[in-house]
Structures are given as C-alpha cells and as structure tokens.
Structure 1
Amino acid sequence: MGWTANDIPDLTGRRAVVTGANSGIGYCAARELARHGARVVLACRSEQRGTEAVRRLTSEVPDAQVTLRLLDLADLASVRAFAKRYGDEGGERLDLLVNNAGVMAVPYTRTADGFEMQFGINHLGHFALTGLLLPKLLATPGARVVSVSSGFHALANIDPGDLNSERKYGSWTAYGRSKTANLLFIHELARRVAAVDADLVAAVAHPGYADTNLTYASARMGDRRLFEQLARIGNRIVAQSADAGALPTLYAATAPGVRPDDFIGPRWQGWRGSPVRSWRAPWTLNDVAAERLWSASEQLTGVRYEGLAAAG
C-alpha cells in the first residue's frame, strides 16, 4: 500500500493557496488540505464555479476553513490584484502555494496581455503569482511551492526564440512546451532558493492520467466533439480518479522528505498509482535554459523575484 491522503500530517494553522481549485485535481487537493486543518484559499477564475466548489467542499468537510478569491491567470492585472488582496488579508504567512490551474491543447488564442494562451496561463501567470507572493513564502518557515506539470512535458522542449509560438503553432506541442516551462521554472526557483539558503521547498508534481474536466474543456474550446467523446471513453477505461490524480500534488505539498526540484508522479509507468519520484526529460534539468526562461519571464510579466539573485 503506497502513500494516501490519510498520510497527510496535521496542517492546523497552515495557510494554503490552490489555483484552479473549483474542479478536478485542484478541488481534490484543496479539500484534502482543508480536511487536515489547513486554511485554504480557492483561487478560481469563475465566481459561480468557485462558489459551487466552496459549497461542495464544506458539505464534504463541514469544519473546513476555505475562502474563495477570484484569479484569472490569463490576465496579469488579475494576478496582481489577487496577490495584493492576499497580502492585505492573509497576514504574514503563506505555507503552501499550489500552482495547479491550466489549459491543455487549446486552439491558438492569446491572453489579455497578448501571450499564447497555454504559455501565458500554465507558465507566465503562475510565474508572476509565485513572485508576487514570494515575500509571504519566504517569511514562513518550511513553506512550499508546488507546480503541477504533466508527463506530456516530454512532447516538446521550449523554443527560446519563439516562446509565444508565433512562428508555428501546434496545440499539443505548445502544451508540452508549457509543461516543460513548469519544470524549468521550479528547477531555477529551487537553485535560487538554495543560493540564499532560504527555508522554502519548490517541487513539481504530475497526476498521470486522471479523469478530470481538463480534457473536456480543451475539446470544447476547439469545438472538437469527436476528441471529447474519445476522451470520455479513454477516461472511463484507463484513467484513475481525480482523487488519485491529486495524490502526487498532495505528496509534494505535505510529505516529509520532499526535496527541492523533486518531480512527483504516479508509480506505474507515470500513468496511475501511488506517488513516487518520477522520470523527467533531461532538458528540464538544463541550468542555462532554466535561467534564460526565468529572465524572459521576468521581462514578459514585469515581476522580479526580489532577494533571489541568479544562482550562478
């Protein structure tokens, strides 16, 4: 028997933020964090879906301490507003930031700031959010940042000369690049944290193949009904539940012994099973590529990580 949600330690007094917490893995992770005593902010784009998630969560965990706050990762103004409000309301501590929200294999569209949608939401929005909340994280002993990547990161390395896929766009290639960016971001964050000896662990997780709304949402955005039907069939036959898919995230967020830059995923071929350290593509450990992506991300978002200089 591997690690389960029952192994999560007591989180009483801890504060957590989970992006994309209205459904799927984000919802399951937020619920289990709250079940074990954490005060959780559900950071959601839709007020209606977020409110429904709070209602559902508190019906499952009656003593849960949860709050809904609106966050649109496709709009840097929304990211800044969320971070400011957390700073005004959240006190001095932030024990856990789970960068979970994302889109997958969508047609070419742009964020409010003009970035390719998958790169903008999956990477740049979370890069900006983490940087803006960094003072709270660094002020909290034992804090963690967990970004949710995917086994599909192996589809593609980033193209530093075309981060926004303006020259050529393939929906799955762009998704793979955005998930590679998640890994490179945490790799560089972990290096910079170590360079200043800060008490912060940055790690990555992936859910394997989990039955969530992510696949269906991407199909609807592209009006790809056949793809949606095939996804539903595959999810019924192959996928593990969203609860099981959330376990790698919860492990990275709470288990003792998680190391900086760990990549946690399901045990069996990276598809399903209890959480363990996972295989990752070699290019996600490239220091030069990670630093270049970091510099480009600072320029594109205007968010600087004060106190975390280049690791050298």
Structure 2
Amino acid sequence: MTPASSWDVHHLPTQIGRTFLVTGASSGIGYFVAEQLAATGAEVVLAARSRAKLDLAVQGIRSQLPDARLRTITMDLAHYASIEAAAETLSDSTVHGAVFNAGVLKQDKRSETVDGHELVVGTNHLGHFVLSAHLHRLLAPGARLVTMGSMAARSARLRLDDMESRHNRRYQGFEVYKMSKLAQTMFAFELDRRLRKVDSPIASLVAHPGGALDGLTPSRPPVHTRRTADLLKALPLSPLVQGKDSAAWPAVRALLDPTAEGGQLWGPSFARTKGRPVLEKPTPLMQDTAMAARLWAWTERSTGITWPTLSTRT
C-alpha cells in the first residue's frame, strides 16, 4: 500500500484519455473533486440538478484550468426518470470511474422524492443505487465507483423496518441523514463483495471528507467567494477541520491511487477530520454482511431496480 507520505495531493497521476463522473459537482466538495480530476487531464462529467449552477462550475474550473476537458449533465437523484435520462446521455462514453458525492443534508420535516420515497434516504442512497445500476454497462475494466460517506455513519443504525420514516411520529432529520450515509457505505461495500464474486474488474470503495467549512475553502468565483468574516469565524476551528478543497482529497485518492483496492474506506489522516487521505478501518456494522444483504434486497424492492448481469465495455 502506498503510504500517505508518498501520495502527493497536489501532483496527481496523469489521467489523460480517461473519463470520470462526479455527482453533485456544481458546488462544495463535489466541485473540488471535479476540479482536481480535471487537473489530471481527464475528461470530467459534472452532474447536478441545476443547469445554471453547472455552467458556473465550468467557469470556476476553467478559471483555474483553461484547457480542462469538461462535460455537464443535469440529473436529479430524487427522480428515477432523470437518472435514467442522464445515464442515457453517456451511452456513447466509456466511464473509468465515478464519485457518488451528491446528497441531501438534514431536513427539518419529512418530504418525498418525485418517486414517493423519503427525500434524504431516497436521494442519497436509493438515487445513487439506481445511477450505479444504469452506469454498469458503461464502465471500463478497472473502473472504480467511489461512494462519499460521512463520519456521521459511524454512529448510525439502520432501521430496515422503517427506512423511510413512514411510521415514526417524530421525524428526526439528523438521524435519517446518518442512516442514509450508513446505507450508502454498506451498499458500496456489499457491491464490491458482489463484484468480487463474479470476478468483475470493477471496484467499489468509500471515502469520507472529514470536517469542512466554507470559511476555510479558497475562493472559486463564480461558484464560491470566501468572505473575510467567514474566514475569521472559521479560523478557531482550523486545527480540527479543513476547507472543502482538502475535503475532496480522500475521494480523489480512492479513485486514482493505483494501490487502492475495492472494499476500502479512505478519510483524512488527523482525527478523521482533516489532513492527507489515508486508509481507515470501517466499523463492524459497516461490514455486516447479513445486514448488507437485507439492505440490498430492500433497496431493490424499493427502487424496482435489479442489478443487471455485471459486464464491462471494451
């Protein structure tokens, strides 16, 4: 395994001729994942709900990398038809990797996706499950699917009898968010186990960003402009958290490091909150194979999507 000290986050391996997809790429950590991948010479497909925000993200990346090879697709992970249409726009492409970064954060009240699922679990977990199922036929041999997890998943529990909070009288937004991130993490590990069973050359990994604040994030107009007041407010927290540019590092390493392997979890080196990307040990629940199998079955029933026979394009 490549030690952390030998992986240079500022000098990434060249990826000319390869294509990567990043969901939620129009802002935040997803934007910086896309920018860092674009710096390698790869073609980067930025996916997000808003066409206007995608256009701003392209401007931001090209302000740093004028020759960046970029494509954009509008996609709403809370709407299966949108996901399918977005995947169809890539049908002429071979995809060498994807970062499943998009997500909905804590909600104060329960709401639903277009397809009638609780919004947070429906977007973060079910939406990415559907996307990965549609992407599988486009993946090149050796492609990696990197799911963006969260430290919050470490203290989460699955409620397989009520994943969508239909029976809870009191909607607990942060608990639902944590559960969605645990579901994503368990799905990613289970996907990798199933890929290994069929000797697939595709790998599935998990990364998490640690703690990230806008006030510690460098400006990327027109996407993000750091205000002095935000920087001053964030500075006292800087020993423990980082900017969103640094928070992108674990996902980028999981995607690009030639020594990374399927089934791994990558995160920041210092207290799991900031620093260079290193391997982490998942919690026992994250690797509970029996629970993951039940989650997989529930996910297929909920989405109506059964993973097709895993295959690769040549």
CA–CA separation in structure 2 for the residues paired with 1:251 and 1:85? 27
Structure 1 range deviating more: 116-125 or 3-12: 3-12
SS for the counterpart of 1:114 is coil
Shift of 1:116: 1.1
Change (3 A) 1:130 1:236: farther
In structure 1, distance between residues paired with 2:274 and 2:83 = 32
Deviation at 1:195, TM superposition (A): 0.5
Counterpart for residue 296 of structure 2: 294
Q: In structure 2, what is the equivalent of residue 157 of structure 1?
A: 157
Corresponding residue for 2:209?
Answer: 207
> Counterpart of 1:258 in structure 2: which amino acid?
A
Aligned equivalent of 2:265: 263
Matches within 5 A, 1:76-155: 76-87=80-91, 89-90=92-93, 93-107=94-108, 108-137=110-139, 140-155=140-155
Shift of 1:234: 5.4
Shift of 1:55: 1.1
Alignment map for 1:15-30 (pairs within 5 Å): 15-30=19-34
Q: Name the TM-score, length of structure 1 as normaliser.
A: 0.88
Counterparts of 1:105 and 1:241, CA distance in 2: 20
Contact 1:99/1:147 (CA < 8 Å) preserved in 2? Answer: yes
- Count of matched residue positions in the alignment of Structure 1 and Structure 2: 289
The alignment status of 1:303 with 2:290, answered yes or no, reads no
Cα distance in 2, alignment partners of residues 255 and 180 from structure 1: 24
Structure 2 gaps, min length 5: 216-228
Greater displacement, 75-84 / 232-241: 232-241
**Cα deviation per residue 1:155-200 (whole Å; 9 max; x = unaligned)?**
3111110010122221111011001011111111001100011111
Q: Which amino acid aligns with 2:95?
A: L
Matched residue SS, 1:5: coil
Shift, 1:299, TM fit: 1.6
Partner of 2:41, secondary structure, is coil
Query: CA 1:212 to 1:284, structure 2 compared with 1: closer, same or farther past 3 Å?
Result: farther
> What is the RMSD of the two structures over their aligned residues, measured on CA atoms?
2.1
Shift of 1:103: 1.5
Distance 1:235 1:176, change over 3 A: farther
Q: Which residue of the other structure, out of 3, 9, 13, is the alignment partner of 1:5?
A: 9
Q: 1:130-279 maps to which residues of 2 (within 5 A)?
A: 130-137=132-139, 140-168=140-168, 169-212=171-214, 233=233, 237-238=237-238, 239-279=241-281
* 8 A Cα contact 2:200 2:310, kept in partner: no
Is the helix fraction higher in 1 or 2? 1
Structure 1 residues 106 and 236: alpha-carbon distance in aligned structure 2, compared to 1, 3 A threshold: farther
Q: Alpha carbons of 1:286 and 1:75: their partners in 2 closer, same or farther (altered >3 Å)?
A: same
Q: For residue 66 of structure 2, what is the aligned residue in structure 1?
A: 62
Using the TM superposition, give the Cα deviation of residue 280 of structure 1 relative to its aligned residue in structure 2, in angstroms: 2.6
Q: Is the 8 A contact 2:9 2:276 kept in 1?
A: no
Gaps (5+ residues) in structure 1? 214-228
Q: Is the partner of 2:282 in helix, strand or coil?
A: coil
Deviation readout 1:275-306 (Å, 9 max, x if unpaired): 11123321110111111111111121122211
Distance 1:235 1:204 in 2: 29
Matched position secondary structure for 2:164: coil
Task: State how far apart, in whole Å, the 1-side matches of 2:105 and 2:244 are.
Answer: 16
Range moving further from structure 2, 299-308 or 264-273: 299-308
Confirm or deny: 8 A CA contact 1:147 1:205 kept in the other structure. yes
For 1:145, the aligned partner's letter is L
Alpha-carbon distance between aligned partners in 1 of 2:96 and 2:252, rounded to the nearest angstrom = 13
2:285 maps to which residue?
283
Q: Distance in 2 between matches of 1:303 and 1:15?
A: 25
Aligned to 2:219: none
Amino acid at match of 2:100: N
8 Å CA contact 1:192–1:308 kept in 2: the answer is no
Shift of 1:6: 2.7
**Secondary structure of 1:12's partner?**
coil
CA distance in 2, matches of 1:106, 1:277: 31
| Aligned counterparts of 2:46 and 2:237: Cα–Cα separation in 1 | 30
